[in-house]
Structures are given as C-alpha cells and as structure tokens.
Structure 1
Amino acid sequence: MSHAIGYFVHHQGRGHAERAAAVVNALDASCDVTLFCARTDIFPPLAANVRIQAIPSLFEPPAGHIDRPALAATRTPSTLHCAPLGWPSITSAVATITQWFATADPALFITDVSAELAQLARIASVPCVVVLQHGERSDPGHVAAYESALGILAPYAAALEQTDRPAWMLDKTHYAPGLGVPSTMPDRAEARDTLGLAHDADIVLVVSGGGGTGTPAPPLTIGARAEPDALWLTIGQIEHQWHETAPGNLRHLGWVDDPANYIAAADRIVSSAGDTTVHMIAAAGRPWIVIPEWRYFDEQVFKARALGKAGAAVALDHWPAHAAAWTDAWRRAALIDPADQRALVDATAAQGCARWLETLATHVSCEFSTPVRDAVQ
C-alpha cells in the first residue's frame, strides 16, 4: 500500500541526516517520502521515491534579522523550547510543512528532532513519530511531544535506555540500535594501509564532535606526554588554549572524510558521546574512554552514563587533569569486552525500523479495532 510519509531532519551535524537516509531508503518503494531540512547537502544518496524539501532553519535567525525587544522579551511557554517571535523564517518553514499536511494526506510525519513540530503535527491532526534522544527530557515540552506521538523511535539499543522513562513511553518505543551507522568496520590492518599508518604503532584516536567548541587540547597534551611511545591522533574540532604544550606524538588532523578508517585503525579511543560517534566505535570494539561534550538537556552526559552502565566504555565526567587520571582510565578501559560493545549495533536496524513505520502507516490508513501498540508488536 502506498503511503505519504514526511520526515523533518535537524541539520546540525550529519547524524540526523544519516539515520534518516537509512530509514527512508529501507522503506517500501511505494512510499512517497518527503524530507524537510534546512540543508540539502548533508544526505547520503537517497532512493528514487524520496525527495528533499528545503525549509528555513527553525533554530537560527534569518540573515539580517534584527530582534524586536518587545517580542524578544515575551515569555516562552514551558511546552516550547525554541519558539522566538517575529522570525519570518520560522513562519515560512511551518507554512511549507502544514501545506504538505493539507495536500499529501500523510500517513505519518517523523521528527528528528523538534518537540515543537511534533506538537504541530498533533494540532494539525497528523500522526507523528518522534525520535528519542538521551538526556533530561522530562520537561513539559518533551513530554508533550512524546504524548502527542503515535510512536517513538530510539536509534540505540534497549540496553542503553534511561531508567527514568515512564512505562507509557516504553510501550510505544521502537529500538533501532546504531541506525544509520555501518554495523561492521574496516579491518585494522587494511585501515592502516589506507591511512599510511604503521602496523606496529600504538595508536590512540581522539574523536571530537562538531556540535560545540570542540575537545580541549590541554588534557590531550597530558595524555600524549604520559605515553611517549604511543601516537595520539585527533580528528574533528579541537579547542586550543594558550597554555597547552603539545608533545611531538600528538597530531591534530582536523575534519576527515573517512572517520571509520581512523576508528578501525586505532588501538584505543577517546571520544565525545555523539550518536554516530558512539555507534561507530561500538561497532569497532576498542578500549574506549567517553567524555561528554556540553549539549542541551545533558544529552551526552546521559548517553555517556548509559555506556558506562552497559560496560561498553569508561565514562568520565570531565577531562583528566593529570597523567595518573589517564593511566587509571586506560586501565579500566582495557577490561572492556568488545562483544558488549558490538552488541549495541544491529545490522538490520534500518530494515526493522522501516517495517515498524510501514506497520504504523498501514494501521493509520485502515480501520482497525486493535490498539496500535498491539498491532505493531
């Protein structure tokens, strides 16, 4: 059965776009899929039945925008997070989406992620699926989105679920571990050949995210200096400070096109707790230290704690400030079982998610007396 499915994709980083592409490419070709995003250049190749509708950003002021003090000072309801007044860009984005609601007769609208758009879909009488992220999400805005949703999509393993999720949320949650991330990684030797790295080198890889200011350099100088026979490589964004004194075995490579090869080539890994980063490292299976970066709602703090509780990584609350702290963290990381890490990634996550969404869409399109939750389990 043909279904019209809409999908809002946050344009920060690449993780949202990569998992959206994995899902929509796995949907039946009869589905008519529209992706709504502020950027059209961040997606992997998409199936023929998928189109991208560019919309203005919901989170950044339009070019040349000047805040009007009276509007900027207006209180924001507790059920909303990002809803500034007087932004024509948001007005335009919402109009584009609601016009699609009115003309497409959609079976589902998926949001990854915007609590406001989940509520908009409910107000517009359109069934919605909300992507769930880690963090402190018990505020009225997130709860309203989850309550409004027909289903909740968690792009991680149930083993990483937070203990504070209420039963009514879990009852309509579908877990898709490592959605959008390759479940297998390149061979270590092959990856080192590709990157021109020595096979006998002891390589520590530091993976920094792109959603903030980056990983601070001084703790890395301490760690690298304490291991003069190891090669420390960093990829991603690094925040340099005036007092750092980098040793010769620490190399900052910046943004790279093939992070999977660097992860596969590493003997040990230090990373932030971004979703794509976490699942790529879990798929590789390595001694692993995870240190959360600042994100809204403490998303990475909660994810790092979940990884530590699952025995997949050594989770630190802050960067080591002396060599002994690094030594202790590496000692604990050496005890991690790679099998526990690889169990957090499912090779069939995209296909399973697509079948779940198709079942929801079919149920919406038909008149069943069976509750939706029972129909999709």
Structure 2
Amino acid sequence: MTRPFGYFVHHQGRGHAERCAAIAQALPPTRPMTVFCARDDIFPPLPAQVDIVRLPSLFEPSGDEPGTMDWVPTPVTLHCAPLGWPGIRHAMATLAAWFDRADPALMICDVSAEVAQLARICSVPHVKVLQHGDRDDPGHRAAYDGAAGLLAPFHAELAQPEWDAGLRAKTCFAGGLGVDVRIPEREVARQRIGVGADEEMILVVSGGGGEGFSQAPLGVGARARPAARWVTIGKVQRDWHATEPTNIEHRGWVEDAADHIAAADLIIASTGNTTCQQILAAGRPWLAIPEWRYFDEQHRKAEALAAAGVATVRPHLPSSAHAWDAALAETLAAHRPLRQRAMIDDAPADRIALWLEALADRLWTPLPFPLPLTPMERHPQ
C-alpha cells in the first residue's frame, strides 16, 4: 500500500488552500493525501484520493480556555502555544493519532512551526513551506532545520539574500504555484468586467488575509489622477473622513480577479502570495504596498520584489496628491513586463509533485550499503 502524504493548511487567506489543491491535483492518483485544516470550505476542487479532516483552530479561542496561565512564559522555540486550550489538545491529538495509524510518507506543513515540530517529534519526515519574513528565530529555525525539504511557492530570484546555501539547497522553488496564471487578453477582460477599451484603469487589489486598504488615501489618489477610472476589489476599510470623487468604484469581493488584473493599466496591491503571482503573470505595472503580517512577511517580500525589478514599492499608500503623482509615475517608468513574467515557472505544481515523490522515495528506500558508524556508536559510553 502506498504511504499517504499529510498536509496541514493554515486557514488564513486562500493562498495556502490553493497551493495545496494544485499539488494534490498534480500528484499521481495512487498517492493518497489527508489534509488537515480548521476550514474545509476554502479549497478548490480536490481529487478523489484526498480527504479533509477539520481541526480546531490553533489560533482562535473557543471560549472554553482558562485565563489563568498566561504568566507561564512561551519558550522561544514556539510561536503560539497557549496553555489550557482544549482545541489545541484535540488538534494535536488528531494529528498524532493519524501519524500512528497512517504511517505517512511525508507531512507537508503550510504553515505552522508547531505542527512541523510535532511531525519531527513523532518521527514523521516533514516538508515545511518557506515564506518571506524575518523568520530566523528559534521556532522557525527548528522547523526548517528539522525538515526533509522546504517548499517555496515563488521564483528562486525572490529568495531573501540572507537565506544561506544550506537552506536553498533543500528548497524547491515554484513560481506561480496554486495560481491560475492563464491571463486573458486585455480587451477580452475589459469586456467581461465592463471597462471601456480606451479608459485608463487603475486597479486596487486587497487580498483576503487582512483588513484591506484604507478608503481615504485611495480617494486622494483618485482625485490626483481624475482622468483614470479607479476600481477596487477586495475589502476596503471605510474612513469617516474620506471624501471620494466619482472616478473610484468599490466592487468588493469578486470571482473574476484575474479578469480585473488583466484589464488594468496599473495595479496597486499588497504582497500576498496569490496576488503577487497573478500580477507577475499578467506583467502589469505594479505599485506594491505591503500590509502588516506576522514576522513582516509582506515587507520582506516587497523588498525581494523591488530587488528583482518586478514592482515599485512604497511602505504605505501615498498620503498626498504629489506623493501619488510621483509613485504612479515611477511605477509606469520602471515597468518590466518580461522580467515580471519570468517569475512564473512552467507547470509549477507538476514540478513540486515530482519533487515530493522523489523526496519520499529517497526517504523510504533502503540504502544499498550501511551508513558509517557515528562516533557515539563506535565508542558507546
């Protein structure tokens, strides 16, 4: 019987679930997979050999947790490990029981340093998804150092400069993983979303992992470029003091984000992974505004995008008309569409699936010769 793969999926945003589904579709049908997640409604279609097990959230209290243990410090090797939470106990017990029962070939962790370390403690080889950010802390290092491999859902040229040769050697990079990068023609996309062929369209994209951009600075930008049609998709924070002109339209959550991106002349967006891959695939001028995330993930990703020459970056939305003029002018002048599209790999899910299968074979294939004895084995105490 083929050993299954396990896959832990963080339920914030949609990118984690989308790349899990892409990998599952690319794996051979003989490879069963069990997915563990706090939500089962965020996944694209999954193949028949994939089961989803719902876990309690490791990060959100249910109301049954005691409030008397916060004085016990969290060790530096852990990030989120509050004491007395029955949901966390149940989640970890479910995972440990599955490890024992299923005898998995690999456990893929996207993302939780604690789940990765649990797999290692339970003697299950794991693959850790590698994300941008300041993650050189003991918790992340333990998860990375103990992993059989690392999976980076972005192009190798977007690696952070401090990632050493050892970390890169165990990493499989896959630009565009989990994202449908089949970008429609600009004219077709504009017809679909109701934008005229000759209009200048500036698109603002807020991802699903946070609260979105504020309304007020977008209004300032729209007033600074009145001839353009401004369209926002995703969540926008309402500001009581915002005064908006008539050339900005808020469409909220849409099912055709790819059409909006393909239709745009310039895009203003945060640096969540799915948004990044879609914009890079479309090759559009991009003003990247990182949002707050744990470990400064989006800020470090924005630095990598700027270093690769595929986005213009500002630390926050411009706050005046002249600042908007300068940022938009720089974005258009620095646009390198061929460079952007080069960040998207051919068939990234297939590449990852082959890498995972080869890694599992390497881990579980007996060696043709015995390993040399360690010093401790040669000279036992």
Distance 1:67 1:192 in 2: 54
**3-state SS of paired residue (2:229):** strand
Correspondence for 1:365: 364
What's 1:149 paired with?
Answer: 147
| Partner Cα distance (1:134, 1:318) in 2 | 18
Indicate conservation of the 8 Å contact 1:271/1:290, yes or no. Answer: yes
Q: Secondary structure at the match of 1:72?
A: coil
CA distance in 1, matches of 2:182, 2:19: 16
- 2:48 counterpart residue number: 48
The AA in structure 2 aligned to 1:220 is L
Quote how far apart the aligned CAs of 1:3 are.
2.9
Q: Tell me what 1:188 maps to.
A: 186
Could you tell me how far 1:48 is from its partner in structure 2? 1.2
Residue from 302, 305, 324 that aligns with 2:303: 305
Contact 1:177–1:346 under 8 Å retained in 2: yes
- Cα distance in 1, alignment partners of residues 116 and 149 from structure 2: 11
* Distance in 2 of aligned mates of 1:10 and 1:291: 23
Equivalent of 2:108 in 101, 106, 110: 110
- Matches of 1:68 and 1:292, distance apart in 2: 34
Question: Contact 1:3/1:361 (CA < 8 Å) preserved in 2?
Answer: no
**Residues 188 and 265, structure 1, Cα contact 8 Å, conserved in 2:** yes
| Equivalent AA in structure 1 for residue 342 of structure 2 | A
In the alignment, the residues of structure 2 paired with residue 94 and residue 66 of structure 1 have an alpha-carbon distance, to the nearest angstrom, of 16
1:160 alignment counterpart: 158
| Structure 2, unpaired ranges of 5+ | 370-381
Deviation at 1:187? 1.2
Matches within 5 A, 1:1-377: 2-62=2-62, 64-69=63-68, 71-334=69-332, 335-368=334-367
Q: Distance in 1 between matches of 2:235 and 2:288?
A: 16
Aligned length: 369
Distance apart, 1:184 and its partner CA: 2.3
Question: What CA deviation, in whole Å up to 9, does each residue of 1:329-348 have, x standing for no partner?
Answer: 22221231101111111131
Q: Once structures 1 and 2 are overlaid, which stretch shifts more, 211-220 or 149-158? A: 211-220
Counterpart amino acid of residue 259 in structure 2: N
Q: Distance in 1 between matches of 2:288 and 2:368?
A: 47
Aligned residue in 2 for 1:373? none
Shift of 1:218: 1.4
User: 1:155 and 1:368 mapped to 2: Cα distance?
Assistant: 31
Larger Rg: 2
Q: Deviations over 1:98-133 (max 9, x none)?
A: 111001111100000000011101100000000000
Query: 3-state SS of the aligned residue for 1:129?
Result: strand
CA distance, structure 2, for counterparts of residue 322 and residue 40 of structure 1 = 43
Residues of 2 paired with 1:368 and 1:330: CA distance? 58
State the identity %: 54
SS in 1 for 2:36: strand
Cα distance in 1 for partners of 2:32, 2:210 equals 35
Q: Give the Cα–Cα distance (whole angstroms) in 2 for the partners of residues 285 and 340 of structure 1.
A: 8
Alpha-carbon distance in structure 2 between the residues aligned to 1:267 and 1:216: 21
C-alpha deviation, 1:66, in angstroms: 4.2
Distance 1:308 1:145 in 2: 28
Distance 1:177 1:369, change over 3 A: farther
CA distance in 2, matches of 1:367, 1:292: 46
**More off after superposition, 273-282 vs 206-215:** 206-215
Q: Which residue pairs with 2:375 in the alignment?
A: none
- Report the Cα distance in structure 1 between the residues aligned to 2:190 and 2:252, rounded to whole angstroms: 18
Task: Determine helix, strand or coil for the equivalent of 1:204.
Answer: strand
Displacement of 1:191:
1.0
CA distance in 2, matches of 1:192, 1:86: 53
The residue type paired with residue 234 of structure 2 is: G
Q: Structure 1 regions of 5+ residues with no counterpart? A: 371-377
CA distance in 2 between partners of 1:44 and 1:210 (Å)? 15
Contact 1:287–1:330 (8 Å) recurs in 2: no
Aligned-partner Cα distance in 2 for 1:323–1:3: 59
| 1:129-166 Cα deviation digits (max 9, x unpaired) | 00000000000100010011000000000110001112
SS state of the match for residue 338, structure 2?
A: helix
CA contact (8 A) 1:313 1:336 kept: yes
Mapped partners of 1:125, 1:77: distance in 2: 22
User: Contact (CA 8 Å) 1:183, 1:346: kept in 2 or not?
Assistant: no
Q: CA RMSD in A?
A: 1.4
2:230 aligned counterpart, secondary structure? strand
Q: Secondary structure at the match of 1:153?
A: strand
| Contact residue 205 and residue 268 of structure 1 kept, 8 A | yes
Instruction: Kindly state the Cα deviation for residue 369 of structure 1 after the two structures are TM-superposed.
Output: 6.0
Contact 1:183 1:347 (8 Å CA) reproduced: no
Structure 1 residue runs of 4+, over 4 Å off? none
